[in-house]
Copies of this chain bind each other. A is one copy, B any other.
Amino acid sequence: MRKISFTLLLWCPGLLYAQQPVRYVKPIIGTEKMGHTYPGATVPFGMVQLSPDTDTIPYELDGKYNPDVYKYCAGYQYTDRTITGFSHTHFSGTGHSDLGDFLIMPTTGPLQLNPGTADHPENGYRSRFSHANETAEAGYYKVKLDDHDILAELTATNRVGFHQYTFPSSGDAHIILDLMAGIYNYANKNVWTFVRVENDTLITGYRQTNGWARTRTLYFAMTFSKPIKKYGHRNYANDVYKGFWRKFNQSENFPEMAGRQIRAWFDFDTKAGEKVKVKFALSPVSTDGARRNLEAEIPGWDFEAVKQQSQNAWNKELSKVAVKTIKPDDLVNFYTALYHTYLGPTTYMDADGGYRGIDQLNHTANGYTNYSTFSLWDTYRALHPLFNILQPQRNADMVRSMLEHYNQSVHKMLPVWSHQGNENWCMIGYHSVSVIADAIMKGNIKGYDAMQALEACANTARYKPYDGLEWYMQMGYVPEDKNGSSVSKTLEYAYDDWCIAQVAQKLGRQDLYKEFIQRSLNYRNVFDASTGFMRPRLSNGEFRKEFDVLSTHGQGYIEGNAWNYSLYVPQYPAEMISLMGGRKQFTTHLDSLFTMHLPDAFFAETEDITRDGIIGNYVHGNEPAHHAAYLYNWTDAPWKTQERIRMILGKMYKPAPDGLGGNDDCGQMSAWYLFSTLGFYPVCPGSTEYALGSPAIQSATIQLENGKTFEVETVNQGEQNVYVKKAVLNGKTLQRPFIHHEDIMNGGKITFYMDRRPTK
């Protein structure tokens, strides 16, 4: 971990109160190592993520997966010394990737259309840069491109990226549009690209890719603040049919370009200090949609005004939680985490509501905002529950978006991991049902029909071709010999089924309740009493003999070993504890998880976990055990929850580029931070209950959308004082370490009385 200085931080000694919380957001956090965040400019839930990419690593080398590509899930690695350009779409914190669409790079000097290498940036269009000349804020990014003597500034609205490039005096100034560049750039990922030079300031086009999203097209409209002097492109694809287009000189000033591998350039003369600005709008539907988005969102050329507008939008959303802390770093951690949770799901529709569905047809979102980028295996845990408190309207629209996905799905399945008109099927489970159940059980039913949502959940959970589901439905578990990661799948299906049952019960559908409450007990079918762990079982009914409780690979798990995954029965923690030998034995078991020593081999074989992301054998860098530290609340030692939570908060979240202990996973890691910092956590989304932990703030005031206010207050909180002596809700001392959703949404106050010694 490397500390960086935050020159913009202003605070008075003692308590800090965030009046302009945007000042505490440090998008650079998580951009080193495994965080996979991006430092560029975007607005809350914005469609455009305009951000620097520091390398263009191919997905494969010699036909095989290139492990280096993994570092560039979000396009940027803090330790890199060159920037290849600024592209308009980025995931935040994912562990697989895509996007990086429409890379723009301003250069001076002789035109170079290849990106060059990190070692020899002078051989290409990329540029050296230094963090000393770099500023990353919410909604604004600035960097000096040393090789070209250009100051690059970026800001954005929802659908438009706004570039401002301050050039030196040059008769040879270029703006490159590299349509070959992309993130996770599989060799044939570009299916087709198309560019039209509509006039001397307006360019339109699209990029169609076959990557994580199998059939994705994104359209653009780009406009320059001054007329192009000349322009051209090179087509690097030998496999494009040239036909009678040969009769033209297409390489210069020819207004229509198409092919699989294209790089275009636009030339200008610039005076010293001249600002050339670029507005770059996206659309999921058409180049016309992009043009309309451009006109609707940024009609003028005032970069400062758009930057201010973007940061105002951030202030508005971030201010909904007013936090007081002792240390400024805590404010930075808090508001950066809140920032990271508001990066997605992203808006996925034009200003007029048009978007492309997974049926490859164009649709119009009427009366709601359509969202995409649903990393549901991650985000059902804490992110969507957080939204049910802080962003209920948006979360209801996200549910609506998932239901529209379902309507368009030929499989009749809710999204598993979806982005931009595609289902990419990543990870396991059908956790849309958890998100939907959590919203319905918490009364957040707006703009969608709960009964239809229940039907969608039930049909999703019955889609037999999906990932061992037919076996699960037949046998009560996924047999490892039929379908890998079988324990993880069985446990998660059972939890999801419990969610469906809750909704069925609430809506009076006893038939569905019975069906799915029965299925929710299936976790029992993979419990091996002989070892005390959940264990892969075969189709003959026997447990598989080979069983390594530390390893993840090929052991029946995914992103977690038996130690972590065996705890995954969030719907029935008490029953699980009883199965595992009772409260006392379970407490010891949990203690071991957090304290045992792991061999080095463990880290060598695990993809996105380093020692940074692990405490003992507890893996915080991946999600399956995110609820684990709260399980002490179901034992006789809730004080251990309080202790562990504070330890995790301290170890896993630091205000530095490498400050995140694992992929932020579209905000799930940050949502964990926010809940835990505020002192409560949704161990089982789909229930209305939150387990209490140990708040790490002085106070927090949450402005709810319903006009009410919920306040978290601590007394005697401090770095040593991590134990809760008592918690008082609206004047009443709590007898159990739990609160309910209505306690929050009805408004009021919870006060935690803290102590340096546990209350045993």
Q: How far is the CA of A241 from the CA of B425 in the complex (A)?
A: 13
Q: In the complex, what distance in Å separates the CA atom of A287 from the CA atom of B254? A: 33
Given contacts A214-B243, A244-B427, A247-B467, list 19 more A-B pairs with CB under 8 A. A186-B241, A192-B192, A192-B208, A192-B215, A212-B243, A214-B241, A243-B424, A243-B426, A244-B417, A244-B426, A245-B425, A247-B425, A247-B466, A248-B465, A248-B466, A253-B465, A256-B411, A287-B360, A287-B361
State the number of copies, please. Answer: 2
Show the binding face of A for B, using Cβ within 8 Å.
186-189, 191-192, 194, 196-198, 206, 208, 210-212, 214-215, 239-241, 243-245, 247-249, 253-256, 258, 286-288, 359-362, 410-411, 417, 424-427, 465-467
Residues of chain B within 8 A of A359, CB atoms compared: 196, 287
CB of B240 within 8 A of CB of A210, answer yes
- The CB with the most chain B CB atoms within 10 A, among A239, A258, A360, A361, is that of A360
**Known A241-B186, A287-B361; contact A256-B410, beta-carbon cutoff 8 A:** yes
A215-B245 CB under 8 A given contacts A210-B192, A361-B288: no
B241 close to A210 (CB less than 8 A): yes
- Assuming the A-B contacts A241-B214, A256-B410, are A192 and B191 also in contact, with contact meaning beta carbons closer than 8 angstroms in the complex? yes
Provide the residues of chain B in CB contact with A256, threshold 8 Å: 410-411
Q: How far is the CA of A361 from the CA of B205 in the complex (A)?
A: 11
User: A286 vs B362: C-alpha distance in the bound complex, in angstroms?
Assistant: 9
- In the complex, are the beta carbons of A410 and B192 less than 8 A apart? no
The 6 closest A-B pairs by CB, nearest first: A244-B425, A188-B239, A255-B410, A186-B241, A196-B410, A244-B426
Residues of B near A360 (CB, < 8 A) are: 194, 196, 206, 286-287
Chain B residues near A243 (CB-CB < 8 A): 211-212, 214, 424-426
- Measured between alpha carbons, how far is A696 from B322 in the docked complex, in Å? 95
**Complex Cα–Cα for A241 and B186 (A):** 7
Give the distance to chain B from A116, nearest Cβ to Cβ, in Å: 26
A585 to B362, CA, bound (A): 67
- Determine how close the nearest CB of chain B comes to the CB of A659; give it in whole angstroms: 30
A254 contacts across to B, CB distance below 8 A: 465
- Residues from chain B with a CB closer than 8 A to the CB of A426 are 243-244
Complex contacts, A411 vs chain B, CB 8 Å: 255-256
Interface of chain A, helix or strand or loop or mixed?
A: loop
Query: Which residues from B are CB-within-8-Å of A239?
Result: 187-188
Chain B residues near A467: list those with CB within 8 A: 247-248
- Choice from B206, B288, B410, B466 contacting A197 with Cβ under 8 Å: B410
| Distance in angstroms between the alpha carbons of A393 and B479 in the assembled complex | 68
**Chain B residues with Cβ under 8 A from A240's Cβ?**
188, 210
Determine the chain B residues whose CB is within 8 A of the CB of A206 once the complex forms.
360
A241 near B194 with CB under 8 A, answer no
- CB contacts (< 8 Å) of A198 on chain B: these are 410
Nearest CB to that of A239 among chain B residues? Answer: B188
Residue among A215, A245, A249, A411 with the highest chain B CB neighbour number at 10 A: A215
A186, closest chain B residue (CB)? B241
- Please give, as numbers and ranges, the residues of chain B lying within 8 Å of A465 by CB-CB distance: 248-249, 253-254
Q: Contacts A187-B239, A287-B361, A361-B288 hold; do A245 and B410 have CB atoms under 8 A apart?
A: no
| Residue of A197, A240, A465 with most chain B CB atoms under a 10 A cut-off | A465
Query: Can you list 18 A-B pairs, Cβ within 8 angstroms, ordered by A?
Result: A189-B241, A191-B208, A194-B360, A210-B240, A210-B241, A211-B243, A212-B241, A214-B241, A243-B424, A243-B425, A244-B424, A248-B467, A253-B465, A254-B465, A256-B410, A286-B360, A287-B359, A287-B360
Chain B residue, CB-CB nearest to A288: B361
CB distance from A314 to the nearest CB of B (A): 33
Minimum CB distance partner of A245 in chain B: B425
**Distance from A470 Cβ to chain B, minimum over Cβ atoms (Å):** 11
A192 CA to B215 CA, complexed, in Å = 9
Contacts of A192 on B, CB cut-off 8 Å?
191-192, 208, 210, 215
Chain B residue numbers with a CB within 8 Å of A287 are 359-361
Question: What is the chain B residue whose CB lies nearest that of A253?
Answer: B465
Task: Output the least CB separation between A590 and chain B (Å).
Answer: 32
* A258 & B215 in contact (Cβ 8 Å cutoff): yes
Shortest distance from the beta carbon of A653 to any chain B beta carbon, whole Å:
29
Chain B neighbourhood of A215, CB < 8 A? 192, 194, 258
Closest chain-B Cβ to A462's Cβ sits at a distance in Å of 15
By beta carbon, the residue of chain B nearest A237 is B188
Which residues from chain B contact A258 at a C-beta distance below 8 Å?
Answer: 214-215
A194 CA to B191 CA, complexed, in Å:
13
Residue of B nearest to A210 (CB): B241
The answer for the CA separation of A51 and B212 in the assembled complex, in Å, is 38
Which of A210, A286, A287, A417 neighbours the largest number of chain B CB atoms within 10 Å of its CB?
A210
Please, how many angstroms separate the alpha-carbon atoms of A504 and B488 in the complex? 77
Q: Within 8 Å CB of A253, what residues of B?
A: 465
Complex-state Cα separation, A198 to B360, whole angstroms: 13
A240 to B198, CA, bound (A): 32
Q: Bound complex: CA of A404 vs CA of B467, how far in Å? A: 50
Contacts of A208 in B (CB 8 A): 191-192
CB of A169 to closest CB in B, whole Å = 31
| Nearest B-chain residue to A359, judged by Cβ | B196
How many whole Å from A749's CB to the nearest CB in chain B? 45
Distance in Å from the Cβ of A671 to the closest Cβ of chain B?
24
Determine how close the nearest CB of chain B comes to the CB of A281; give it in whole angstroms: 15
A186 to B191, CA, bound (A): 16
A410 to B196, CA, bound (A): 7
Interface centre among A186, A198, A211, A243, by most B CB within 10 Å? Answer: A243
Considering the chains assembled together, what is the distance between the CA atoms of A359 and B425 in angstroms? 33
Q: Please measure, in the bound complex, the distance between the C-alpha atom of A526 and the C-alpha atom of B427, giving whole angstroms.
A: 71
Given the complex, which residues of B lie within 8 Å of A197, measured CB to CB?
Answer: 410
CA of A249 to CA of B241, assembled, Å: 34
